[in-house]
């Protein structure tokens, strides 16, 4: 029975259809694994076991009667604890004031999973208010990487990625603003997809505060899974026009651009002086590109989308911190305003840029958004020549836990050089994030140190199925999901 926990959601649905396993039996297996491994990985932090088991029994009865709710009928799934779940505690990583918050209704994306027949039986851990690239908080503690508990699982959807890697759930819903799906997926050796901005509703995601109606800029909701096919399956369920828009239009994502690996025109951007890549990770990514070429793929390692990584990173920072500032408490915002006013005009340090960007004027924010549209135009031209861009998800593999309180003072060692911790978000994750593009993380084997190596596939806007298909083909040649040993 152990091996069934590591099957893809697609394979589990096939097993349910053939009645090789029942929904109740499968759910009980996941629950027993969560209980056994909670002290090791600490990924699933809130359970709704009794209700879920009752629903699983109902799903089994409905399947016997030939009455299916949808494409995910009877599949036990978990969701990141930043998504509101009706009748089930939602804390967004133990955020102040939300420690006991129980919503009355589901987030839009969660409701779509349930309508498709999924059984949401638990919530996965994240950093407080999804504000870190590690996963820990005072309410639920630290989520550990299943490949090495001394290392971070990534964040903010760290519990989501661990639930997939460690075989604790069939499918997972995460969120990604600056890499929060893709980074933990890469660190834990699974697949993750940041959708094109706007195609999956984020209403009911915290942050913003409960009840927020406006969709935050850059923020997306998307799946984390053990296969690329699962990403596509989940996207078909959660990606469509919001009800208020569906009066006039609907979403119809195009199919993948090509049929096979040799048909695709790929580009690869694997290192940059602005965001240096760890030598062991870069070695594995370069080997993956060589393996793709040996399999017949066309990969151009010189092609670039018409701008520097530094330019993209700086603009992403302006848009990111400008869009996040409404979530700051009034006192915190006023304190940042005072700090910004006291900065020397020539201070261009990372902390100074962060401070200025957090309190920028509406005029400056709109100028940044206009610059972003021009950047998107360069991407459009690039994708006329290439179907997808391969690049790192993050500058390094999973790194040791670092919970020192001042984010701005943290550093991350890359090739022996201390890089700004928060600055790591501004390089590779920002390539897809800034321009609203789909980005898929795919496992491509392991570094020489035995850590999972992930590659990012950046696709054209609204061509999510191309990004996912390329990720599938890349993983088939160069990696794919492997269960962590001993679990």
- Residues 380/385/388/392 CA torsion (nearest 10 deg): -90
Sheet strands (E) in 197-256: 220-225
Element containing residue 78 per DSSP (H, E) = strand 76-80
**Distance in angstroms (rounded) separating the CA atoms of residues 325 and 354:** 11
**Distance in angstroms (rounded) separating the CA atoms of residues 29 and 252:** 36
**Residue of 415, 168, 382 whose CA lies nearest to 272:** 415
**Distance in angstroms (rounded) separating the CA atoms of residues 341 and 232:** 48
* Residues with catalytic function: 80, 156, 180
Tokens of 393: 């998800």
Q: 56 CB contacts (<8 Å, ≥6 apart)? A: 22, 23, 24, 26, 27, 74, 76, 119
Sign of CA dihedral 184, 187, 190, 192: positive
**Residue of 468, 473, 441, 440 whose CA lies nearest to 256:** 468
Contacts within 8 Å (CB) and 24+ apart, 349-356: 350/408, 350/420, 350/422, 350/423, 351/408, 353/314, 353/317, 354/317, 354/321, 354/408, 354/422
**Distance in angstroms (rounded) separating the CA atoms of residues 327 and 346:** 28
Decide: 372 and 315 in contact? Cβ < 8 Å. Answer: yes
Helices 309-324/362-385 angle, 10° precision: 140
CA 136 to chain centre: 16
Tokens of 459: 């696709």
Number of H helices, E strands in the chain: 14, 17
Task: Give the C-alpha distances (Å, rounded to integers) separating 126 from 116, 138, 181, 469.
Answer: 25, 11, 11, 28
CB-CB neighbours of 25 under 10 Å: 14
Q: 244 CB contacts (<8 Å, ≥6 apart)? A: none
Chain position carrying tokens 């399999």: 295
What is the DSSP secondary structure assignment for residue 115, as one 8-state letter?
H
């Amino acid at each position: 029975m152990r091996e069934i926990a590591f099957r893809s959601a697609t394979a589990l649905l096939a097993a349910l259809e053939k009645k090789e396993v029942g929904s109740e039996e499968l759910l009980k297996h996941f629950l027993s694994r969560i209980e056994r491994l909670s002290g090791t990985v600490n990924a699933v932090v809130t359970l709704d076991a009794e209700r879920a088991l009752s629903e699983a029994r109902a799903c089994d009865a409905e399947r016997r009667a030939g009455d299916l709710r949808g494409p995910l009928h009877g599949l036990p799934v978990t969701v990141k604890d930043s998504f509101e779940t009706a009748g089930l505690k939602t804390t967004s990583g133990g955020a102040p004031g939300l420690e006991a918050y129980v919503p009355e209704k589901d987030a839009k994306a969660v409701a779509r999973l349930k309508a498709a027949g999924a059984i949401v039986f638990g919530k996965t851990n994240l950093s407080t208010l999804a504000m870190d690239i590690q996963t820990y908080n005072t309410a639920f503690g630290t989520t550990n990487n299943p490949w090495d508990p001394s290392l971070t699982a990534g964040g903010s959807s760290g519990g989501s990625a661990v639930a997939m890697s460690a075989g604790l759930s069939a499918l997972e819903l995460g969120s990604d603003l600056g890499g929060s799906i893709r980074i933990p997926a890469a660190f834990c050796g699974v697949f993750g997809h940041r959708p094109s901005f706007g195609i999956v509703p984020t209403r009911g995601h915290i942050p913003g505060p409960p009840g927020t109606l406006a969709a935050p800029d850059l923020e997306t909701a998307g799946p984390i899974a053990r296969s690329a096919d699962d990403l596509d399956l989940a996207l078909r369920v959660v990606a469509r026009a919001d009800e208020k828009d569906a009066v006039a239009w609907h979403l119809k994502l195009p199919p993948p651009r090509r049929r096979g690996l040799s048909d695709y025109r790929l580009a690869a951007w694997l290192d940059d002086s602005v965001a240096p890549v760890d030598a062991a990770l870069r070695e594995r990514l370069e080997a993956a590109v060589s393996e793709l070429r040996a399999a017949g793929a066309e990969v151009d390692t010189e092609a670039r989308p018409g701008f520097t990584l530094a330019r993209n990173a700086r603009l992403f920072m302006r848009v990111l911190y400008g869009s996040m500032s409404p979530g700051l408490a009034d006192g915190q915002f006023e304190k940042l305003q005072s700090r910004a006013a006291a900065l020397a005009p020539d201070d261009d340090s990372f902390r100074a840029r962060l401070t200025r960007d957090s309190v920028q004027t509406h005029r400056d924010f709109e100028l940044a958004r206009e610059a972003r549209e021009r950047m998107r135009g360069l991407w459009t031209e690039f994708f006329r020549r290439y179907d997808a861009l391969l690049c790192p998800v993050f500058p390094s593999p999973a790194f040791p836990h670092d919970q020192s309180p001042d984010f701005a003072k943290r550093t991350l060692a890359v090739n022996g050089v201390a890089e700004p911790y928060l600055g790591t978000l501004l390089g590779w994750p920002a390539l897809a994030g800034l321009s609203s593009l789909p980005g898929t993380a795919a496992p491509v084997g392991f570094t020489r140190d035995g850590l999972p190596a992930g590659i990012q596939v950046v696709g054209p806007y609204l061509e999510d199925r191309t990004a996912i298909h390329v990720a599938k083909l890349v993983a088939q040649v160069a990696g794919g999901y492997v269960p962590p040993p001993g679990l």
